[in-house]
Amino acid sequence: MAMLLCSLTTSAEEVQIEGLGYYLNANAKTAKVIGNIINPYRGDITIPSTVIYNGVEYSVTSIGDDAFGACRNVTSITISEGVTSIGNEAFSCCYQLASIAIPNSVTSIGEHAFFNCQSLVSINIPESVITIGDNAFAGCSNLQVIDTPENSRLTSIGKWAFNECYKLALITIPGSLTSIGSNAFYDCDNLKIVNIGSIEGWCRLSFGDLDANPARMAERIYLNRKIVKEVVIPEGVTSIDPLKFCGWNTVTSITLPESVTSIEYGAFGGCGSLTAINIPESSQLTNIGSRAFEECGSLTAITIPESVTSIGEDAFKNCRSLTAITIPSSVTGIGDDAFSGCSNLTTVIAHVTWKKIFRKKWYDIFEGCPNLKKITYVK
């Protein structure tokens, strides 16, 4: 037992090498960068890929929690290849940190890793990074650009990750990403461009809440660095999630596959340039949710398939260019204000079973449709 305890106590050691603190694991021959309490870090820092101590070479594989936390005079960090993780609060409150070079070996960026690094202007996330933790870049008030490569492996962005990045203007969302936590882009009110990697990836992506969706607040959406004009939803997608394409104001046409069964709340709301929605005759669509196409002011026509059973409140509200609509016999419910504000709507064709309902709820459903004089009923 005594020999075992001796072995355990000598397998790890904290040392200082060329001004940087390390936690050495003698068994694995690895080193983790740690803080330096005696001489706080300052200036330009390079974290090497290997260090030598007492004649033994150690691979530097991680930057520990709070390693550079509150080192207010650190101005730049270069991390060498081989480091795989950046710990929680590793560079938190490094107010003068203006540049950081992250190698293509890092797979995780911890919680609060760059919290309040107020001098950072841009950050390149290498393809190797898989997770970005909660609050990782929160409070980086001068951060303007977040870029990721097309072949990125990034799968998750944590809660509040870019909260209060007031000057953030451009972010690339790779097709590999599957989740963005709540409030990730809260207070990113100057976001101008969101560049996404693929429509398929975007459809798969889940958002923790409204402020997790950066496209909702962006001025323009790009697909592989080109402005999006046409959106073709791939076969296999069954639901267009709430606000998924909300505010994509350069999109002129949307094509849905037959596999889509539901268009959820506000999914295409505010797509002001949208003129055409292509839905196949064999569509399995049953639900057009509340505000699904609200404020699509350029939409001139839509064919609602026979599979649809419900049209939600405000679904086509203020679609001012819409002139005609046919409501199929399969529809059993229409929400209030579904077509309100469709000021150029002149023709509505509906199944005769809607005759009594429309007489009672005309103004609830078609309020603000001055050119709609009558509804044609068919059997």
33: three-class secondary structure by DSSP:
strand
Encoding tokens for residue 370?
């001055």
**CA gap 158, 167 in Å, rounded:** 20
Altogether, the residues listed in the chain come to a count of 379
**CA gap 188, 204 in Å, rounded:** 23
| Cβ contact 119:141 at 8 Å | no
Q: In order of start, what are the domains of the chain with their CATH numbers? A: 229-379 (3.80.10.10)
Report phi then psi at 327, rounded to 5: -100, 115
| Cβ contact 77:57 at 8 Å | no
pLDDT by position in tens, the chain (length 379) = 443 333 444 577 999 999 999 999 999 999 999 987 667 899 999 999 999 999 999 999 999 999 999 999 999 999 999 999 999 999 999 999 999 999 999 999 999 999 999 999 999 999 999 999 999 999 999 999 999 998 999 999 999 999 999 999 999 999 999 999 999 999 999 999 999 999 999 999 999 998 999 998 899 999 999 999 999 999 999 999 999 999 999 999 999 999 999 999 999 999 999 999 999 989 999 999 999 999 999 999 899 999 999 999 999 999 999 999 999 999 999 999 999 999 999 999 998 888 888 888 888 999 999 999 889 999 8
Query: So what's the pLDDT on residue 2?
Result: 42
The single-letter code of the amino acid at 297 is G
